[in-house]
Amino acid sequence: MNVHWNGNGANFTKKHPPIELLYVEEFQRIDQAFYREKQIQGWSRAKKEALIDGDSNKLKELSNCLNISHYSNKGIYPASDITIISKTKADFKL
């Protein structure tokens, strides 16, 4: 945190210093930490809050795929509700 407060961290934290540390994970290698940071950045606010709160049940619930074609949803939706659209490059005008 001191690195970020002194302006020596990443470019984003130089301009937007952290106000309060809410969650931390430790990694042996920087590439693992970077991967995890990018993973969490892609999450919804609700999922991040569940992580901060340590609510593993809520985190698991929010992680469930809601895409109707996902294997975990097989049998939940009738086949008539699923429409598959196939497009080729030629279908898209650039």
Does the global pTM surpass 0.85?
A: no
In terms of DSSP H, where are the helices of 1-94?
2-5, 11-15, 30-41, 45-53, 56-63
The string of pLDDT tens digits covering residues 41-93 is 999 999 999 999 999 999 888 888 766 666 666 666 555 555 555 556 555 55
Q: Distance (Å, rounded) from C-alpha 83 to C-alpha 80? A: 8
